[in-house]
C-alpha cells in the first residue's frame, strides 16, 4: 500500500520524537491530554518501549505487614500491589493478618531455570537421528560458546526431542537475578549458529532450516512440561492457621473450609483445570505491574497449586508456584517507581531474586487464604450482590457537572446567579466514611466537588454534593458487613427501612432548603438543589468550608479545644432547631422522616453487640460492652420518654459534622441521618464527644441544665433526666456498636474514649435520678 501513514519519529524515545507524535495525533483529532502527562523521563525508559507517547497510572496499595520466615529468619515484610480491582489489597491484608497472627508464612526457594527451544529441520529422518545422537556429546563445547555472550547465563542442559525429520532442543539456563528471556535468546542464538557450523564441519550434513524457538519453551504459555521440568522460579509458601484466627479474622471455620475444598478439587481435575488455586493471578498481576516485570509472563507465572489439610488446631495451607518468571534486575525493574516498590520489598538488584520469589508466594498465599474464607463464609457472594439494582439508569456523569447545570441550579434560588462564571477546583476532598464506602460499590458520580462562581459582584467558593441514594448506602454497608459477619450483612439489608439511612438522599436536601427558607443560618450557606428521580440525581450546592478558615473543624479527637462558649453556643443553636421542628411537626414530611425506634430493628443491634463483645480483647471493656444487651431491652420501654417532646434531630451530632467559625458562629452539616426523636439524643452525643473529664459532674449539670432550661424544664424533673439516660443508651446501642464493629476493618481514634464518656454520664445521671 503506497499511502501507508508514517508516524513521526517511529521507534525513537526522545523528547523531540514524542512531541512530534503528540502533534501528529492532535492533528488527526485524537485527545491524549491525560496520556501525554507523564512523570517518566525519556532516559529512564530507553530500550523499554518504542514510539513513546506517555503513560497510564495504576494505583498502588500497601500490602502488609506480613510475618515472613525464610532461611531461618523471621521478619515483617511489606509489598506494593498495583491494581484497579477494589477490595483486592484489603483481602490480601486480611489473609496476611490471619497468617501472621498464626505464626507467619514460611517460604522455600526450590530452583530457577529459563528455557529456549531451537528447532532444526533436516531433509531426511536419518540426518535428524545422527544430529540427535551427536548433540549430547558436544554439550560442554556448546556450553562454553553460549556463555560467552552473557555475564550471568549458565547453560545447565540441552534436551533434544526427535520427531521424524525434526529435532527440537530445550536449552535450560540459570540466569541469575534476571528473568532471562532476552539473555537466553541471545546466548541460544549464538549457540545455534555455532552448532550449525560445527555439525556440518564434523558430519558433512548441512542444516539449512532452523529457528531460534520452535515453541517448545512454552514462553508466555502454560504447559505441563514447564511445570514438571521447570521454567522460571519454583517456590513454595506454607503456614498453619490457628482455629481462633480462622474464626475471628476470616469469619469461618476450618471444618467449613474443608467441607468445600475436597469436592472443588475433584471438579477441577474433572475439568482438566491446570493446577488448583483461587486467584493467584490477582496477586501476580498486581505485584508484576508494581515492580516492572514482564506482563506477558503473567499467564505462565500464575500457575499455582493450593493444598489444605486439617490439623488438630486449625489448618495447614501451602501454595506452590512452579513457573514464576521474574527478575530483580533488567527490564522494567530500574524504572524509578517500580524500583521503589522493589526497594520497599528489599528485593531490588543482584542477589535478591530468591527473596522476591518468596515474597510473591507469601503474598499470593495471603490472598488465597482470605478469598477462600470469603467464599466459604458467604462474604464473597454478598460483597458482589446487586441488591435488586438491575434496571438500567442514565446516571449523572462528570462531564454533565458543568457550568450549564450549576448555573441552572444557582439561578433558581437567585436569578442574579444565572450569569456567574464557573470554575472547578482541582483538589481532593475527604468525602466521609459513608460516601467513600458507597463509591466503592457504585459507578454513580458520588461525593463532594468544590468550585468557584463569580461575576462583578460575587466571588463564591461553593461545593456541590452529589448524594448516594439510601439503597446505595445500604448496599455499601451490606458489603462492609459481609467482611465482618455474613449474618450481620443480611440483618442490615432486612432492616434497612427501619434505620436512619432510610431516605438519606432526600432528607438533607429538604433540611437545607427548609432551614434556609425559615431563616435559620446554622448550616453552610445554601445555594440550591436538583432532584431527578428517573436518573437518580440528588445534588446539593452549599458554601464551601475551607478548614483553614474555621476555628474548629473535624475536631472529634480534640475535646480539649472545645471552649465553654463553643459548647454553650452549639447547644443553644441545636435547641433552636429542635424547637422549630417540634412546633412545626405537622410540616415535617411523613414519607421522609420516621420516628426512630430501636425495637423495630432489635435483631440487628443484638448481632452488633454480640460481634463487638466477641472481638474485644480487654476483659474490662468486655464487661462494659455486655451491658449494651440490657440497654437494648430498656429501649423497648418507650413509656420512659412518652411525655418528652419529639422533633426532627440531626442524629449524627458530633464534631465530625459540626464546626465553629473563626467568629464563633456554629455550623452544622451532614444532615442525611436526621430522624424524629427526642431532642436529648443530639445533646448527649455532642457532650460525649467534647467532654474532657467524664467524671466532672458540674460539667454535665451545667450543660444539661442549659439545655433543659431552654425547654422550660429543670434537672430536678426526673422524666426529663430519664430522657438523657434513654438517649445515651440509644446512642450506645444504635451508633457506637456500628463504630466498634467498623473497627474490625478500620481503626478509629474516638470510639473507646466516647464509650467511656457515655458510661460515666450514665452513672452520673442515675445518681441524679436517685437523688
Question: Which residues are part of the catalytic machinery?
Answer: 85, 294, 384
CA distances from 721 to 449, 676, 697, 717, 770 (A): 43, 19, 14, 6, 11
Instruction: 426-434: list long-range contacts, CB under 8 Å, 24+ apart.
Output: 432/670, 433/742, 434/468, 434/473, 434/476, 434/672
Alpha-carbon distance of 754 to 556, in angstroms, equals: 10
Secondary structure (H, E, C), 633-666: HHHCCHHHCCCCCCEEECCCCCCCCEEEECCCCE
* Site of grid cell 421542628: 581
CA distances from 278 to 226, 248, 268, 315, 399 (A): 21, 22, 11, 17, 39
Residue 382 near residue 374, CB atoms below 8 Å: no
Q: Which set of grid coordinates corresponds to residue 635?
A: 429501649
In a 3-state reduction of DSSP, which class is residue 110? strand
Residue 65: is the preceding peptide bond cis (ω within 30°)? yes
Q: Are strands 73-82 and 60-70 parallel, antiparallel or unpaired?
A: antiparallel
In 3D space, the residue among 515, 505, 526 whose CA is nearest the CA of residue 413 turns out to be 526
In a 3-state reduction of DSSP, which class is residue 240? strand
CA distances from 467 to 448, 532, 537 (A): 9, 12, 8
Residue 59: is the preceding peptide bond cis (ω within 30°)? no
Residue 180 near residue 134, CB atoms below 8 Å: no
Q: Are strands 60-70 and 105-116 parallel, antiparallel or unpaired?
A: parallel
**CA dihedral angle for residue 750, residue 755, residue 758, residue 764, rounded to 10 degrees:** -120
Contact partners, residue 23, CB within 8 Å, separation at least 6:
8
In a 3-state reduction of DSSP, which class is residue 524? coil
Residue 68: its H or E element: strand 60-70
In a 3-state reduction of DSSP, which class is residue 209? strand
Alpha-carbon distance of 160 to 172, in angstroms, equals: 11
650 burial level (CB within 10 Å; 0-12, 13-18, 19+): buried
Strand segments, DSSP code E, in 193-324 are: 209-211, 232-242, 305-310, 314-324
CA distances from 390 to 472, 478, 489, 717 (A): 13, 17, 20, 54
* Site of grid cell 497510564: 56
Alpha-carbon distance of 466 to 677, in angstroms, equals: 27
In 3D space, the residue among 765, 740, 759, 741 whose CA is nearest the CA of residue 750 turns out to be 740
Fill in the DSSP letter of residue 48. Answer: T
DSSP per-residue codes, 221-238: S--HHHHHH--EEEEEEE
Q: Which set of grid coordinates corresponds to residue 620?
A: 474490662
User: Percent helix, strand and coil across the chain, each rounded to 5?
Assistant: 50, 20, 35
**CA dihedral angle for residue 469, residue 475, residue 477, residue 483, rounded to 10 degrees:** -160
Residue 467 near residue 512, CB atoms below 8 Å: no
Q: Which set of grid coordinates corresponds to residue 227?
A: 511445570
Strand segments, DSSP code E, in 431-587 are: 447-454, 459-466, 526-532, 537-543, 550-552
Amino acid at each position: 500500500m503506497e499511502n501507508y501513514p508514517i508516524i513521526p519519529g517511529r521507534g525513537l524515545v526522545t523528547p523531540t520524537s514524542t512531541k512530534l507524535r503528540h502533534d501528529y495525533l492532535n492533528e488527526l483529532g485524537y485527545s491524549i491530554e491525560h496520556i501525554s502527562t507523564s512523570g517518566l523521563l525519556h532516559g529512564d525508559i530507553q530500550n523499554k518501549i518504542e514510539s513513546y507517547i506517555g503513560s497510564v497510572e495504576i494505583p498502588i496499595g500497601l500490602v502488609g505487614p506480613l510475618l515472613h520466615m525464610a532461611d531461618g529468619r523471621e521478619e515483617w515484610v511489606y509489598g506494593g500491589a498495583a491494581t484497579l480491582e477494589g477490595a483486592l489489597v484489603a483481602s490480601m491484608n486480611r489473609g496476611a493478618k490471619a497468617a501472621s497472627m498464626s505464626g507467619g508464612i514460611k517460604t522455600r526457594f526450590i530452583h530457577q531455570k529459563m528455557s529456549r527451544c531451537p528447532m532444526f529441520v533436516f531433509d531426511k529422518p536419518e540426518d535428524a537421528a545422527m544430529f540427535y545422537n551427536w548433540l549430547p556429546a558436544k554439550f560442554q563445547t556448546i556450553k562454553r560458546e553460549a556463555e560467552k555472550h552473557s555475564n550471568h547465563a549458565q547453560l545447565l542442559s540441552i534436551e533434544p526431542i526427535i520427531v521424524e525429520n525434526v529435532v527440537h532442543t530445550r536449552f535450560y539456563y540459570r540466569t541469575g537475578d534476571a528473568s532471562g528471556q532476552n539473555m537466553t535468546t541471545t546466548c541460544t542464538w549464538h549457540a545455534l549458529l555455532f552448532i550449525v557450523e560445527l555439525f556440518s564441519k564434523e558430519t558433512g550434513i548441512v542444516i539449512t532450516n532452523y529457528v531460534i524457538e520452535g515453541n517448545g519453551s512454552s514462553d508466555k504459555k502454560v504447559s505441563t512440561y514447564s511445570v514438571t521440568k521447570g521454567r522460571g522460579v519454583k517456590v513454595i509458601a506454607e503456614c498453619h492457621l490457628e482455629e481462633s484466627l480462622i474464626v475471628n479474622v476470616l469469619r469461618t471455620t476450618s471444618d467449613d473450609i474443608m467441607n468445600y475444598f475436597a469436592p472443588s478439587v475433584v471438579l477441577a481435575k474433572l475439568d482438566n483445570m491446570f493446577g488448583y488455586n483461587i486467584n493467584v493471578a490477582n496477586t501476580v498481576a498486581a505485584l508484576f505491574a508494581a515492580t516492572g516485570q514482564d506482563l506477558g509472563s503473567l499467564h505462565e507465572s500464575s500457575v499455582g497449586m493450593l493444598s489444605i489439610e486439617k490439623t488438630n488446631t486449625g489448618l495447614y495451607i501451602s501454595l506452590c508456584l512452579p513457573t514464576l518468571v521474574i527478575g530483580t534486575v533488567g527490564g522494567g525493574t530500574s524504572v524509578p517507581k517500580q524500583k521503589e516498590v522493589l526497594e520497599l520489598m528489599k528485593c531490588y538488584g543482584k542477589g535478591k531474586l530468591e527473596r522476591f520469589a518468596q515474597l510473591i508466594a507469601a503474598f499470593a498465599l495471603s490472598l488465597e487464604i482470605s478469598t477462600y474464607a470469603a467464599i466459604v463464609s458467604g462474604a464473597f457472594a454478598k460483597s458482589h450482590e446487586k441488591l435488586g439494582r438491575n434496571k438500567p439508569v442514565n446516571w449523572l456523569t462528570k462531564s454533565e457537572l458543568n457550568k450549564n447545570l450549576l448555573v441552572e441550579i444557582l439561578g433558581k434560588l437567585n436569578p442574579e446567579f444565572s450569569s456567574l462564571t464557573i470554575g472547578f477546583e482541582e483538589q481532593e476532598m475527604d468525602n466521609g466514611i459513608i460516601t467513600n464506602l458507597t463509591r466503592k460499590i457504585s459507578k454513580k458520580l458520588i461525593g463532594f466537588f468544590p468550585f468557584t462562581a463569580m461575576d462583578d459582584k460575587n466571588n463564591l467558593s461553593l461545593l456541590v454534593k452529589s448524594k448516594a441514594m439510601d439503597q446505595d448506602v445500604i448496599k455499601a454497608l451490606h458489603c462492609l458487613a459481609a467482611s465482618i459477619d455474613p449474618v450481620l450483612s443480611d440483618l442490615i439489608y432486612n432492616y434497612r427501612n427501619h434505620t436512619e439511612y432510610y431516605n438519606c438522599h432526600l432528607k438533607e436536601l429538604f433540611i437545607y432548603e427548609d432551614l434556609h427558607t425559615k431563616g435559620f443560618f446554622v448550616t453552610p450557606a445554601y445555594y440550591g438543589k436538583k432532584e431527578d428521580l428517573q436518573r437518580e440525581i440528588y445534588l446539593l450546592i452549599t458554601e464551601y468550608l475551607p478548614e483553614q478558615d474555621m476555628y474548629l473543624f473535624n475536631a472529634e479527637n480534640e475535646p480539649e479545644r472545645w471552649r465553654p462558649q463553643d459548647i454553650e453556643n452549639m447547644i443553644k443553636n441545636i435547641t433552636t432547631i429542635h424547637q422549630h421542628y417540634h412546633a412545626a411537626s405537622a410540616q415535617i414530611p411523613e414519607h421522609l422522616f420516621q420516628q426512630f425506634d430501636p425495637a423495630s430493628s432489635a435483631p440487628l443491634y443484638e448481632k452488633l453487640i454480640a460481634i463487638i463483645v466477641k472481638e474485644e480483647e480487654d476483659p474490662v471493656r468486655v464487661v462494659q460492652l455486655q451491658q449494651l444487651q440490657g440497654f437494648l431491652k430498656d429501649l423497648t420501654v418507650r413509656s420512659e420518654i412518652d411525655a418528652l417532646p419529639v422533633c426532627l434531630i440531626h442524629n449524627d451530632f458530633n464534631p465530625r459534622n459540626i464546626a465553629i467559625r473563626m467568629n464563633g458562629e456554629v455550623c452544622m452539616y451532614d444532615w442525611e441521618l436526621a430522624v424524629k426523636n427526642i431532642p436529648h439524643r443530639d445533646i448527649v452525643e455532642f457532650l460525649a464527644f467534647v467532654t474532657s473529664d467524664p467524671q466532672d459532674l458540674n460539667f454535665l449539670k451545667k450543660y444539661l441544665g442549659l439545655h433543659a432550661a431552654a425547654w422550660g424544664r429543670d434537672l430536678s424533673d426526673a422524666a426529663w433526666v430519664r430522657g438523657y439516660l434513654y438517649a445515651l443508651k440509644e446512642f450506645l446501642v444504635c451508633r457506637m456498636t456500628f463504630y466498634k464493629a467498623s473497627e474490625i476493618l478500620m481503626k478509629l481514634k474516638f470510639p473507646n474514649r466516647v464509650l467511656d464518656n457515655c458510661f460515666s454520664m450514665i452513672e452520673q445521671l442515675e445518681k441524679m435520678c436517685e437523688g
